[in-house]
Structure 1
């Protein structure tokens, strides 16, 4: 049984492996597909025979026998966002370590596309991971049973599906506290998409901050989630007379920073700016961006761990909440005494 075969592995059949191991075809199939009811000694015998003969299983045939594709689907709202890229990096590497592939679909921030992609990709895979889904709560609750097993990233739902998320509210509160400690009392918040669950968490944090600090004012400016949205918000930000701005994410903060530089506004001397996510470019803006570092790679790893547990048929994994850490850089500074009571600032 220890002899090595010089035959073409593609021509070695499962029948030959069964004959070599002295077991039935069904036993070989179950042993090679990891069926747990097979006696470990038989599994070892079958694998030894497969190795001796140079047998390589046909992935398609294996999936037909096991009912598994060894692939999971991931639907994200925007593949161009470095944060989602980092989540996918952590997830795909963790999945690969368990011989799973990842099928990625981008909904382009469209709820209708998100629903359609969730159903279509799930039919072709063993499970679905929804990354920051934008759909309303009632639609999400109706969808999840149809696509189970499913895991949510950065979105919780009143359902059995496990969720892995960053604590956006606590982190934004910490950014507000940082700015308040620097003397700022007038803030502007450039919000993300209204239907974003993480934006709702940020708004809750702002409401709590206002209650705790009645001497402060926070103007909310609806916006998008990309660089252009931040740049487009520059005039609206200046009109608020804020001394500090909290952007929905780093991309928005970078767009704002670029537009303000063109207008001759100095950061942080005239206006402090914070981002959110700590994408790879954040330390290299001018000035470097103060932000909240979201552990995006770990979010992806944890999402796969939850999915792996579901695929193994174990109990539903507990949801996970990770807290972003504040990273203070050069884009925030003390408020200047002369700006505390000034009127609306004008660009040149």
Structure 2
């Protein structure tokens, strides 16, 4: 085969070429390919050249949505969340979707699985296909958020407050709500409480732990036990938690509280007679387990409305960079009671 024939063959578009195929061919990340395609961010000249050679070799063409970026509104909004299976995120997304639909936008959803690098790569990959991005409980580092803030695509953060990042934010005051929850336990005579944490990458977890630390000023001894905010991780963490001999467990969220309750029941520890237990978020499940769960109602509907209002303003070129807070509410049910005289622990 002649050299000219080989060149023509290399330039023949290959059906189904994707951005991941381009990244593999060029030996770079999909985020780097996205930056080259959208001409956003800083890419070293040699890397950009490798990407462009890979694009040519594979015959890759951005989809119609990406090509439409410069032609006006695509009527798409991207939403990225750490866990699609968590009911909390579902309710926020549902409310955002309602607002978007009323304004003539479609919603594209993606999960980062709690991985900061994957979340940033997904954001960069989605950006050419959408008019705006909404990041729920973002784990992206501050430098990555600043990169998104510098881009033309409007981006809104939900439940993530980061200093020095010029992005609109809708959030819940988790710290104040956690202190209110601790005040309730203190009034019941509890003096030693274990906090079953969420992911250390979660801003909500950081804020709730701050509330637990502040509760020490009222005389409540608080201990942190690492977990991941899931049913299984909380179940597995309970043995360590009980080793501190608390009279109450404050779980990062309602799912973690379900896992904690399951382990307590396995051990024959009665809730709330021997151990009080609380959650956070007030997902529907919290009203239907036995005992009904004392928790904090996180206003997901209001949060979704705030997020869409901020996005609407940003799409209109009127971004509001003030943090917009939704108020949480303590919900008292059956899983908390007076501190037990004898502290439950593993035998």
Query: Which bracket does the TM-score occupy, shorter chain normalised?
Result: 0.7 to 0.9
Match for residue 296 of structure 1 among 287, 300, 304: 300
Match for residue 127 of structure 1 among 124, 132, 137: 132
Within-5 A mapping of 1:89-238: 89-146=94-151, 148-157=153-162, 158-210=164-216, 212-213=217-218, 215-238=219-242
Q: CA deviation at 1:275?
A: 0.2
The verdict on how the C-alpha distance between 1:276 and 1:317 changes in structure 2, with shifts beyond 3 A counting, is: same
Match for residue 279 of structure 2 among 275, 282, 301: 275
Q: Can you list the C-alpha shifts for 1:297-316, whole angstroms capped at 9, x where unaligned?
A: 22111111111111112353
Q: CA deviation at 1:147?
A: 6.0
After TM superposition, the score normalised by the length of structure 1 is 0.77
Match for residue 309 of structure 2 among 294, 305, 308: 305
Alignment of 1:244 onto 2:241? no
SS of 2:150's equivalent in the other structure is helix
Q: Which residue of 2 aligns with 1:319?
A: 323
Contact 1:309/1:317 (<8 A) preserved: no
SS of 2:129's equivalent in the other structure is coil
> Structure 1 residues 277-286 or 128-137, which shifts more?
128-137
After TM superposition, the score normalised by the length of structure 2 is 0.77
Q: Which runs of 5+ in 1 are unaligned?
A: 1-58
**Max Rg structure:** 1
Partner Cα separation in structure 2 for residue 64 and residue 291 of structure 1: 44
Q: CA deviation at 1:317?
A: 5.6
SS of 2:239's equivalent in the other structure is helix
Partner Cα separation in structure 2 for residue 109 and residue 154 of structure 1: 14
Q: Which residue of 1 aligns with 2:13?
A: none
Within-5 A mapping of 1:42-81: 67-81=72-86
Q: Which residue of 2 aligns with 1:23?
A: none
Q: Which runs of 5+ in 2 are unaligned?
A: 1-63
> Structure 1 residues 152-161 or 250-259, which shifts more?
152-161
Contact 1:160/1:316 (<8 A) preserved: no
Contact 2:213/2:222 (<8 A) preserved: no
Q: CA deviation at 1:216?
A: 2.8
The verdict on how the C-alpha distance between 1:284 and 1:147 changes in structure 2, with shifts beyond 3 A counting, is: farther
